[in-house]
Chains A and B, each alone.
Chain A
Amino acid sequence: MTTYYSKDHEWIAVDGDSATIGITTYAQEQLGDVVYVELPEAGKALSQGDEAAVVESVKAASEVYAPIDGEVVEANEALVDEPAKVNEDPEGAAWFIKMTVGNSDQLSDLMDEAAYKAYVETL
């Protein structure tokens, strides 16, 4: 399993032709206390850059974008009832969606962990 990162602060853990997507610790820190999460239905087709989910904190509302093309397989409904999980374990239990990898070439548009860390340093 390899984890990639986007400039919009999503992480995507790819395992063969399925992927899990969430927001990074940095994103969670910037948002502050998350109070609301809106997730897509399973089966929804997403293109790279499409709005996949919405996350709202006391400070701001923000979109979670699909880092690659694919179809939503499962959404983490537990976040809807307990949005605080996004603050507690953003890169683990608080994943947002699982999706298929529609186009693995698009993964090369993303960063690895080291590159993402360096990117966050510049912000």
Chain B
Amino acid sequence: MSMNTQGRPTAAGDVGETFRPKTFTGNRGLDMEEPLIFEFGSLETTGVDLDEDESAEFELGGFKRTAEIGLAGLAEPEAMRHYVRLSRNNYAIDSGLYPLGSCTMKHNPRLNEKMARLPGFADIHPLQPVSSVPGALDLIDELAHWLMVSTNTSAVAMSPKAGAHGELCGMMAIKAAHTAAGRDPKIVLVPESAHGTNPATAALLGYKVVSIEAKDDGTVDLDALKKTIAEHEGNIAGIMLTNPNTCGLFERDVKQIADLIHEADAYFYCDGANFNAIVGKARPGDLGVDAMHINLHKTFSTPHGGGGPGSGPVVLSERLAPFAPLPFIRKTDKGLELVETEAATKDGEQPFGRMTAFHGQMGMYVRALSYMMSHGSDGLRQASEDAVLNANYVRVGLQDLMSLPFGERPCMHEVLFDDSFLKDTGVTTLDFAKAMIDEGYHPMTMYFPLVVHGAMLIEPTESESRAALDLFVATMRDLVMSAKRGETERFSGAPYLAPRRRLDETGAARKPVLKWTEPAPAEVTPAAAE
């Protein structure tokens, strides 16, 4: 055994390799067992010490709060520790490869963050006079320009807060256009391979959703589309298509689909969630798209997930441009104007209303434009190419062991496997995903899209190095081989090594506990009281 100069052993040797002490605190070494803030904070504790401002006049009238709100408080050091400890149980793009298909978990460049923290952007308020924020207007206009150029469209509604909100905005513009033309079609077509939010959006606007079947290769069946259009002639408002679709495949017939839809006096809404695969390669406007949202938190690298917020500007074709919602920026001889009200609109501007109270996610605009300008058009194109390359690298690395539902054709930015390779192993897609957690990976998207059985949708994103992809592929291969060898225990009880073991998803869905309630005080037994 090696020793240091004081004779203290510097290696553990064989002692305690398998022994796991049951700890007093419940912590496992540096893996902290963190209570809820309500369980250890108190109403009396606070991290701030402010004088009562007795001169303040309340303008809230009857809305003035009269009782405590019951939020537990912590001193500042405790608050820091609480959230830092919780954050250590989080999995983030900053801690590892995040192959969540269809979600595009991109690296968030630090330059974006630096720009967003410039006081001129970070410290402005949506209610301050427009004349005091010309730079912010310039930035929004510049971002809108980049979005329109990369999509070849005529206008962009900047305010929607994320993808589904953008879908709603785009479909409201389509509805407004039909109304303005004196039409009232009732049906929206949605292919099977579309994002789940698409039919939800159409339904929210009162449309009847008619599903279009996919062909065996996972793309839209043109004949089925023609038949459906003929069946509902004159009553179709539009189609909502995701391209590249959720099978990770480019809809090769997209132009014909657009033409068929336009011939039917309908509009083409494209779900732009997967735009990151084609930026700089194809412009949706050239493909006949009338409206498409762009997830800045996917394609343009702004933070995604809990940290967000999302941002989902919607680009609009020339035909839909007049219906863009308030507020919007208008270019005049004297510079940029912010049009905030119906009364301020001019001829030809027919906004369908307003999606948000203010102007959208300014912080995200700064980050997205930073990403665009730091990459340039050639860099953006390369990011798309690398995203597709990485997904295909994973596909080729796994296709002999896992199963591709649509054959070995190249995929776009994400690769879809089904669970037929797990047949007769007793391991399900869910088990497989849980075992990935033990290997230190966030699982891929599973059981979506619904068009294939036991789907596993992997999107590695473009910034992963070849070494990172090699390790991921090797890990997946090891898991597949393990499942095929019949080592079911590695899967059936997974995750074994995560802060929590497998959660009861069924119980959580059937009897969700949405509110913390103070547990009844434990009965003190004589033994415990001693």
Contact = CB atoms under 8 A, between A and B. Distances in A.
B447 A36 contact: no
B447 A59 contact: yes
Main secondary structure of the interface of B (DSSP, over half): helix
Interface string B505-519: 110011000000000
Interface string B425-456: 00000100000000000000001001000000
18 contacts: A33-B505, A33-B506, A33-B509, A35-B506, A35-B509, A35-B510, A36-B509, A36-B510, A56-B509, A58-B505, A58-B506, A58-B509, A59-B430, A59-B447, A60-B447, A60-B450, A83-B510, A84-B510
Main secondary structure of the interface of A (DSSP, over half): loop
Contacts of B510: 35-36, 83-84
Interface in A43-63: 56, 58-60
Contacts of B447: 59-60
Interface residues of B, number: 7
Interface residues of A, number: 9
A36 B506 CA distance: 10
Contacts of A83: 510
Contacts of A36: 509-510
Nearest to B511: A35
Interface string A27-38: 000000101100
A60 B450 CA distance: 8
Interface of A: 33, 35-36, 56, 58-60, 83-84
A76 to B, nearest CB: 17
A61 B57 CA distance: 52
A59 B430 CA distance: 9
A73 to B, nearest CB: 25
Nearest to A84: B510
Max chain B C-beta neighbours (<10 A), residue from A33, A56, A59, A84: A59
Given A35-B506, A59-B430, 9 more contacts: A33-B506, A33-B509, A35-B509, A36-B509, A56-B509, A58-B505, A59-B447, A60-B447, A60-B450
A83 B506 CA distance: 10
Contacts of B430: 59
A33 B508 CA distance: 12
A59 B453 CA distance: 11
Contacts of A35: 506, 509-510
A84 B510 CA distance: 9
A96 B450 CA distance: 23
Contacts of A59: 430, 447
